[in-house]
Amino acid sequence: MPLRTEINPGYLIRLAIVSSACLFMCLWSLYDGLVAYPNQRKHALEYQDFADAHPELDKKELYDQWDETARQTHGWLVGKNDLEKPRSAYDINSQFVMAVVTGLIGLFFLWKLLRNRGRWIEADEQGLRSSEGREVAFDAIHALNKKLWQNKGIAKVIYAIHGKKQKIVLDDCNYVRDTTQAILRHVEANIDHAFIVNGKPEPPSSPEEP
């Protein structure tokens, strides 16, 4: 029966969380740049003009009269932001920059989420195959690179098709850990250990492991 490892649901959840957070920040930045900051600037400038025209009023009287004037003249609901320094053009433009940056990051992680859904890697007695359409027989593998295995759980199965270098990546974080490690051991058992580079073969699995 073939060994099969599938994409780790936790990995997809992390991609979804990052994508959602970034896209939310993008929309929030757009709202600030298009609505909140321009409105604050307009209100704050009007308040400054009103305050300059009424130097005789103390702070509370000034605020009370400004509240009444703003409501009756402009139909504004006065907030504490009106009393703060007006937002500058730089403040407003920076929100659009933030929207672009967070939007691109959010779309990138959304693309990764959609791209990775349903992925799998399978091994049988002949070789490896993946949901991406990659397939290699064990006797065609010319390297198993374990440089990143110990620290990051990533091993690269290297082979060539028509002289073009190809690889299948075993990643025990992005894929289900136990079955990914089982596939790695299966690959090592079916290739010459001289092809294992930047690392040693895995020790035999314990009886509890697959």
d(CA 15, CA 114): 9
pLDDT of residue 28: 98
Amino acid at site 60:
K
Q: 173-185 burial, b for 16+ CB within 10 Å, e for fewer? A: ebbbeebbbbbbb
Paired residues of 149 in beta bridges: none
pLDDT of residue 48: 85
Q: What does R_g of the chain's alpha carbons equal in angstroms?
A: 30
Query: Could you count the other beta carbons within 10 Å of the beta carbon of residue 155?
Result: 27
The residue whose two tokens read 């305050």 is: 51
Q: What is the pTM of this model?
A: 0.78
The 10s digit of each residue's pLDDT in 19-35 is 999 999 999 999 999 99
- Cα-flanking dihedrals φ and ψ of residue 165, to 5°? -65, 135
Angle between helices 89-116 and 37-53 (to 10 degrees): 160
The 10s digit of each residue's pLDDT in 95-106 is 999 999 999 999
Amino acid at site 2:
P
d(CA 23, CA 110): 9
Query: Which tokens is 88 given?
Result: 């500058």
Q: Is 66 exposed, middle or buried (0-12, 13-18, 19+ CB in 10 A)?
A: buried
Percent of the chain scored above 90 by pLDDT? Answer: 70
**Where on the phi/psi map is residue 153: left (φ > 0), alpha (ψ -120 to 50), or beta?**
left
> Where along the chain do its domains lie?
8-116, 120-197
Give the residue from 124, 127, 137 showing the smallest Cα distance to 2. Answer: 124
- Cα-flanking dihedrals φ and ψ of residue 192, to 5°? -65, 130
pLDDT in tens, the chain (210 residues): 789 999 999 999 999 999 999 999 999 999 999 999 998 898 888 888 888 888 888 878 887 787 888 877 777 776 666 677 889 999 999 999 999 999 999 999 999 999 999 999 999 999 999 999 999 999 999 999 999 999 999 999 999 988 889 999 999 999 999 999 999 999 999 999 999 999 999 987 655 555
pLDDT of residue 50: 84
Instruction: Name the DSSP class of 92.
Output: H
